Amino acid sequence: MTENMQAQESISIDTTRRRVLRTVGGLGATVGFAGLAGAQDGTPQNQDGQRPARYVLGGRTETWVGLSPVVGAFYGQSNPPLRFQPGDQYEVVWINLDGNNHEFQLLDEAGEDLEETESTANIGETRSVRFQATQEMARYRCEYHPQTMLGEVQFDSEYTTAPPTPTPSGNESNR
């Protein structure tokens, strides 16, 4: 009886994994196709043909994982930096990989929530948010796992010409 139950459980897990892989594969295909018009390497591009317009992350309690664009600095990386150009439009899509509750949030330097997706605890489901990038955006995280699911936002070189903003006291408000 025990063996039978184990067999059933393993079948059920296997089915779930296949379903997730199918969903991820479908996402990848969609994202890849959208990028073909603008890029030789299949990276999704903005209208100016310069930068990715869409990022796809996988959500697990241990880490966010980069799924698209499929470039070395992002794909398969743990908590990869999101590169933005201020003023450009972006979409962040994430897929739940482990069935725990996750929610993507973009924060400013002070830890204030600027953009966020809906949450989901359903494995294989996706959530997304569209926004215009601003230089206030400093990092991203999961609302429920801010210690493990967190990464940086990076801007291009002109960002460094902006005068440094004074940091108010008590800036460690990442709770």
- Chain residues binding Cu ion by CB under 5 A are 102, 142, 144-145, 149
Question: Which residues contact residue 110 at a Cβ distance below 8 angstroms, ignoring those fewer than 6 apart?
Answer: 168, 171, 173
Give the residue among 41, 69, 42 at the shortest CA–CA distance from 54: 69
Judged by CB, which is closer to Cu ion: 53, or 92? 92
- Mapped onto helix, strand or coil, the DSSP state of residue 136 is coil
CB of 101 to Cu ion, least distance (A): 7
CB of 2 to Cu ion, least distance (A): 33
Sign of the torsion angle spanned by Cα atoms 19, 21, 27, 30: negative
Judged by CB, which is closer to Cu ion: 64, or 84? 64
Judged by CB, which is closer to Cu ion: 83, or 141? 141
Give the residue among 106, 95, 91, 90 at the shortest CA–CA distance from 141: 106
CB of 144 to Cu ion, least distance (A): 4
Judged by CB, which is closer to Cu ion: 110, or 150? 150
CB of 148 to Cu ion, least distance (A): 8
